[in-house]
Structure 1
Amino acid sequence: MPMDPPEAGEGAVVHIDAAFKAAAPRRYAELREIGPIHRAKLSSGLDGWLVVDYHLARQALTHPALLKDPSPAADALASVGYVLNQPGVGLGGQMLEADGQEHTRLRKLVSASFTPRRAADLGPRIRTIADDLVDHLAADNSADLVESFTAPLPVTVIAELLGVPEEDRHEFRRWSSDALNLSADNRSALAGLHGLLARLVADKRTHPQDDLISGLVTVHDDEEGHLSEAELIGTCLLLIVAGHETTVNFLGNSVLALLRHPEQARLLRGTPGLLPGAVEELLRYDTSVETATHRYAARDLELGGRILPRGSVVVVALSSASRDAPMGEGEDSGVLDVSRPAARHMSFGHGIHHCLGAPLARLEATTALDVLLRRVPDLELAVGPEEIDWIPAGMMRGPIALPVRYGAVEPRD
């Protein structure tokens, strides 16, 4: 389908609105045909630059003059009421919004508590949670799979990992979703999360437990170069939002992709050993983190043949870059192939901000898809794919609801 007239040329402005996001894979493919970088009106209302090419994305994410420090764009950010990334404010005070040595310090401190071993130890518990959710699927053989499976599984996992009490989980799911919806007034959601986390941190300091927030409190109180109170809250906020919102939507995207390609689902059911590689292919095909967080030009610079003045806002479309990743000769990036060897993608970013939680995300996705495919063999969409509603704004991509129907549910092992 040809590009719509308002976005038909290299110099035109791409509007990242609900219609664009609903058709994102097609729209990004059209943009890549035109050029690697485009002027854009972002969901936040900011004017910026959108990088859609794989190689340019890798360059942008490691460019020494494209920083997380928003100071050069302060006036533009203030004009749209954007919450600046400062310690104790918005999504600030954590490693995703830090540069250089500050990022290294924060990441090292967080890594001391959020280790790959801690994530791997969750494997049996993740399987139990997935099995419990399948056990409770509606008896009338129809459900919204987002509400009944793809959302509650990561919420439960991250809540248990962090030590969030069950009575607070509904609120932090709602607040974390709203916090990433950059077109809305997300201040109340961010304030709610900050308040919840401040209360939890105070409780863990008095009554420490074997959970991640208690571990981070120990880092705050004891470690050399420790986390400040604002950094502690900001880090917990990052782990809540990035630790489950990304997986909620990736699971939704993955299940939808398999339902739209039933031959691929059958292949996975028959050959479950393909699942780890299939998760990489699904990350390449339709990742949940559609765009990386903003970068700001600290000086005038050239990127992809375009001159970007100091203060420019740059957004890397990770989903587009993943579809544009190098492939074998004759392979089609628009085709879902769960048997594809060594699928390359940028779903977890690139450079110093490569996702710390990638091992946990992979484990959750592999386990959840294994349980769902094995125990619900007759799963199918209850609506046409064109009727699926997508998240309309912000950096996430995922279905808002996933109506399905199914036959008999197999017993757990």
Structure 2
Amino acid sequence: MEEQPVLIDPLGRDLHGEADRIRGLGATATLVELPAGIHAWYVSEFEVLKQLLRNPRVSKDPRKHWPPWQRGEFHETWVATWVSVTNMLTSYGEDHKRLRKLVAPAFTARRTAAMLPQVERITEELLDAMAREAADSGTLDLRAFYAHPLPMNVICELFGVPEDQRPELKRLMVAVFDTTLTVEQAQQTGMDIHTAFSALVETKRKEPGDDLTSLLVSARDDEGARLNEKELLDTLLLMIGAGHETTVNLIGNAVHALLTHPEQLQLVRDGKATWDDVIEETLRWAPSIANLPLRYAVEEIKLPDGTTIRQGDAILSTIASANRDPDKYGETAAVFDITRPATEHLAFGHGVHFCMGAPLARMEARTALPALFERFPRLALAVPEDEVAQVASLISFGHETLPVRPLG
């Protein structure tokens, strides 16, 4: 790669501004430098990224298709947590089909629908806790009290995670999305993840239950040729990590969007738009995952503008940028508008790697949002909008805290 790469902010302090600047360079794809000196292609156009996401000449397996990884580079950096794992996220071809088939029973429409009573119960418990806290202090952090514990508790119940193991998993999920980790921190995080998920697997081997961890452990122990131990641990990391982080940000981003765009909230209250409209526009306008590492060109790929992605080059899934592409959404691409006619987005990916937990995430948000605004109809931000800090990450797109006043 002779082209001089554009440096990307590892803290993600201005994800959309950065996307606009890169789009302004005029190329369909721009070479960028990620933390630790990783070079990757940043795709600015919605349709081009969509085509790459479903292109069989694009892989997610660094062991087969990313030369720097094969040479031993970046193994002790932040990206290792994302590319060293062996699960659906980093598999290709037949391996991906095998692993996805094993996990698919966990996210059937029937099983997702069966989770609704649990989601409703957890929602009500958290709203009650918010009301008690608000009565004492007047303000609270919506992320800490609601947006984070709701999907975390749901996914932990789905996977049968014991109460005493949940705090450590919660801590590790934060670390996984931190793109500023030092080498030592990244190494420690990797070891801690292995320890935590090994403990969960051992618990389910001793005391299996009607949960998805037990289901996967059974697939490993009864039919070991279909799922080895590393695949088992890494699949649990993917399911529990992705299964909660995306929904945490979806709920938090939707609440923030509505509180800063009260006219949009009024459309829902007046029956002129639905909560589904809110959810889909939030997923487009503020996707839970801004940039997802990494994919690799299996062979040379020429883009419509003549840009060549060479065999072995890394590609960043630039979801936040693509979801505000003016060529797709027009001059109002950067505007939060729940009446927008073009609802297609890439927040859950596209193609064979489309997120199978998307129906569960939507169901949780569809439960959480109306319940929150019904319980606290005068909910408001407790600080000026410019004081609501984003999570420091080029991957995760959400708020570090979301201070609110839960007014009835």
Percent identity at matched positions? 37
Residue 39 in 1 paired to residue 36 in 2?
A: no
- Which moved further from structure 2: 254-263 or 268-277? 268-277
Q: Which amino acid aligns with 1:152?
A: P
- 2:279 maps to 279
Query: 2:79 & 2:62 partners in 1: Cα distance?
Result: 7
2:69 partner amino acid: A
| CA gap 1:45/1:144 in 2 versus in 1, 3 angstroms | farther
Match for residue 108 of structure 1?
101
Q: Secondary structure at the match of 1:157?
A: helix
* 1:76 Cα deviation after fit: 7.3
Q: Which residue of 2 aligns with 1:4?
A: none
Mind listing any 5+ residue stretches in structure 1 that lack a counterpart?
Answer: 1-10, 409-413
In the alignment of these two chains, the number of paired residues is 394
Q: How many Å separate the matches in 1 of 2:108 and 2:165?
A: 25
Instruction: List aligned pairs for 1:147-226, cutoff 5 A.
Output: 147-184=144-181, 185-223=185-223, 226=226
Unaligned runs of at least 5 residues, structure 2: none
Contact 1:349 1:355 in 2 (8 A): yes
Q: Deviations over 1:170-190 (max 9, x none)?
A: 211110110122331333223
SS at match of 1:22: coil
Question: Quick one: structure 1 residues 79 and 255, their matched pair in 2 at CA, closer, same or farther if it must change by over 3 Å?
Answer: same
8 A Cα contact 1:378 1:406, kept in partner = yes
Compute the displacement of 1:77 (Å).
Answer: 6.4
- 3-state secondary structure, aligned to 1:315: strand
Deviation at 1:261, TM superposition (A): 0.3
The AA in structure 1 aligned to 2:386 is E
- Check whether the contact 2:13–2:390 (CA below 8 A) recurs between aligned residues: yes
Once residues 222 and 331 of structure 1 are traced to their aligned partners in structure 2, the CA distance between those partners, rounded to angstroms, is: 56
Q: What displacement does 1:80 show? A: 7.0
Displacement after TM superposition at 1:258 (Å): 1.0
Deviations 1:315-349 (A, max 9, x none): 02111112228767x77222222233461100000
Distance 1:273 1:336, change over 3 A: closer
1:233-312 alignment, distance < 5 Å? 233-271=233-271, 274-303=274-303, 304-312=305-313
Residue of 74, 82, 90 corresponding to 1:97: 90
The residue matched to 2:395 in structure 1 has which SS? coil
**Structure 1 segment 1-12 matched on structure 2, within 5 A:** none
Distance apart, 1:283 and its partner CA? 0.6
* Cα shift at 1:50: 0.8
Q: Is the 8 A contact 1:289 1:318 kept in 2?
A: yes
Note the alpha carbon deviations across 1:75-123, whole angstroms, 9 max, x for none.
676257337869xx97512111100011001101111333222122111
In the superposition, relative to structure 1, how do residues 63 and 183 fare at CA in structure 2: closer, same or farther (>3 Å)? Answer: farther
Cα-to-partner distance string for 1:196-242 (whole Å, 9 max, x where unaligned): 21122122122111111011112223358521111111111111110
For normalisation by structure 2, the TM-score amounts to 0.89
* CA distance in structure 1 between the partners assigned to 2:376 and 2:20 by the alignment: 34
* Alignment partners' CA distance in 1, 2:75 and 2:211: 38
Query: How has the CA–CA distance of structure 1 residues 155 and 332 changed in structure 2, closer, same or farther, with 3 Å as cutoff?
Result: same
Name the CA shift for 1:90/1:342 in 2 (closer, same or farther; >3 Å): closer
Deviates more, 1:123-132 or 1:188-197: 188-197
**Corresponding residue to 2:57 among 58, 65, 88:** 65
Tell me the residue number matched to 1:5: none
Cα displacement string for residues 55-75 of structure 1 (whole angstroms, at most 9, x for unaligned residues): 110122123332122242226
Cα contact 1:48–1:313 (8 A) shared by 2: yes
Where does residue 339 of structure 1 map in the other structure?
A: 339
